[in-house]
Structure 1
Amino acid sequence: MSNYSIKDLEQLSGIKAHTLRIWEQRYNIISPKRTDTNIRTYDDRDLKLVLNISLLKDHGYKISEISKLSIEEMYREVIKISDRQLNYPDQIHALTISMIDLDEERFEKIVSTNILQFGFEDTMIHIIYPFLSRIGTLWVTGSVGPAQEHFITNLIRQKIIVAIDGQVSKQRPNGKKYMLYLPEGELHEISLLFANYIIRARYNKVIYLGQSLPFSELVFAYNVHRPDYIFTALTSVPSNHEVQPYVNKLIKAFPDSYLLLTGYQVVGQDIELPDNATVINQIEDLIQIAGS
């Protein structure tokens, strides 16, 4: 069972910490544990409770009404809402609960229904990616347990691999060659896999080198293929103070390719880049580049 701070709950539910404190004091609806230094901590049950309250509240229930419901009654109301068409934020809440409960059946129902209605790419962009973004920081800091992380990422990974396998293997006349990899020690592969799908779907060629690749092997593959673009995601490695030197190393080693960088360690950071490198802040940036 994971432990969450009030800021973690705020990030996952979208409900401000100030509001959560008011609910605790006025309605006694949440009962956090406290550390020896009187800091609030929450467990998986608290997070599910807050997510369900948020869902009910977004569908017109008043907090004064919700506070009078038992856990079982609240759950029945949530099921009623879930049986109707949910909007994107609701789907993200539902995915978060499926992660907490390690509930593969619920995950499959949410994702499969949306893929049938909107297609794989839109489901990834509007539901899966915002979900991953919402919990990404918690993975890095360890607020989400390894079992939960491995469970949900492996399910998402399987979906992306199936979608990639379904791509027609052809390259348009002006298509480019992309080399995709993760640095040595980097194991968060979801963004790399989806980039693989996005680039292939626009009929470009992909050389996929996968996770935790030593730099010497990247140089070897580069010399074989001479790609137009090199794409990588820096999520947990290298460490903060090593990111700029690592980027500098890439720039020096591959001056004839265009570098595409994304991940927690570079997005929103003050990374100095030359003209042949850019940070992919959101998936739409990669879609535009891959389609041009």
Structure 2
Amino acid sequence: MSNVVKTKFSIKDLEGLSGIKAHTIRIWEKRYTLLEPQRTDTNIRYYTLSDLQKLLNVVFLLENGSKISKVAKHSSQEIAEKVATIVAEKSFGHQNHAINSMKIAMMNFDQNLFYKTYNALLEQKTFDEIFYETLIPLLEEIGLLWQTDTINPSHEHFIFNLIKQKILLNIEHIQSSAQHTNNRTFALFLPENEFHELGLLFLNYEIVKNGYKVIYLGQSIQLESLQYLSVNHPNISFVTYMTVLPEVDDLPDYLKEFDERFGQDDFLLYILGNRVQQIDEAMSPDSIRPMMSIREFVNVIKKPTLNYA
């Protein structure tokens, strides 16, 4: 699919991207003429990218103590300048502003804006802080925007690949100086036909950073393909990230298959991602370790004496 910039937005699109209810946006239009929607030849209202940018800037000012009645008196340029002033005075630590800038970069396929936003954050924060405080919330919002058809797959792939570049860069950086202080190896993989890789890549980063060896297998791996690793690396644990697969109905059978193949030899499978919500831990095999978040998993591997049994 070609990267065609989305230039027309419905009021529901604005609601999804800004977090402001459509009803409130309409009130602001009528009371303050904050936005002036255009109309198609068939009289359907729509908003432009400039309207979206203005609305996101307005939201930022409101979050920083301004009143809508005062903000609405200013032009789009003046509003943007006020945002820039606040950011400059308080550093680029405003998560919402950074997230909004990255959303604009995504909608506009503007990699330079993404890099500018990321680099400004990097002046104030570590990569870990940026990932947990900015990129994870951004990815969660993108998931909702995709579900509501506010964005299409080309937007999603564009921003995912930019984030992937940053994760890979940091993995390379720590691998060049990493010392394996633990004898445990982690094999990282996505289930068959699962391709949402960002969470797994960040787990790779965290595991290497904490002194473990990683065997990164990547996307769409069948359980039977792990057999070789279990034979040749007896001190290994498996980690997977389930976003959309396996299907919910297939999940119990998937966990059972892992346990039948590897559980008797005390191999563990750590599971992260959306599908964790559907795992009944009480009914799961002992070899299955659901993790509710990346932070929870990191806390587990940071323990001085890690119990893998």
Common fold: TM-score over 0.5? yes
Deviation track 1:168-209 (CA, whole Å, cap 9, x = no partner) reads: 232114x42111011122211111110000010000111100
Q: Which one-letter code corresponds to 2:109 in the other structure?
A: L
Structure possessing the higher relative contact order (Cα contacts under 8 Å, 6 or more residues apart): 1
The yes-or-no answer on 1:284 pairing with 2:295 is yes
Matching residue of 2:306: none
> Partners of 2:180 and 2:212 in 1: how far apart?
5
Could you tell me whether the CA contact under 8 Å between 1:140 and 1:236 is conserved in 2? no
The yes-or-no answer on 1:112 pairing with 2:124 is no
Percent identity over the alignment? 36
Highest Rg: 1 or 2? 2
> Partners of 1:102 and 1:160 in 2: how far apart?
19
Structure 1: segments with no counterpart, 5+ residues:
none
> Partners of 2:184 and 2:86 in 1: how far apart?
45
Structure 2: segments with no counterpart, 5+ residues:
1-5, 304-309
| Offset of residue 128 of structure 1 | 1.4
Alignment of 1:13-92 (within 5 A): 13-16=18-21, 19-20=24-25, 22-24=27-29, 26-30=31-35, 47-84=52-89, 85-86=91-92, 87-92=94-99
Could you tell me whether the CA contact under 8 Å between 2:279 and 2:290 is conserved in 1? no
Question: The residue matched to 1:60 in structure 2 has which SS?
Answer: coil
Matching residue of 1:201: 209
**What's the TM-score, normalizing by structure 1?**
0.83
> Partners of 1:243 and 1:31 in 2: how far apart?
49
> Partners of 2:87 and 2:81 in 1: how far apart?
10
User: Number of matched residues?
Assistant: 288
Matching residue of 2:130: 123
Alignment of 1:134-213 (within 5 A): 134-139=141-146, 142-167=149-174, 168-173=177-182, 175-213=183-221
| CA-atom RMSD in angstroms | 3.2
Deviation track 1:215-252 (CA, whole Å, cap 9, x = no partner) reads: 33233444333454211111122233333332333333
Q: Which one-letter code corresponds to 1:150 in the other structure?
A: H
Q: Which one-letter code corresponds to 1:13 in the other structure?
A: S
| Offset of residue 42 of structure 1 | 6.9
Deviation track 1:65-121 (CA, whole Å, cap 9, x = no partner) reads: 333334333333333334341322222222222222222222112222323432211
**What's the TM-score, normalizing by structure 2?**
0.79
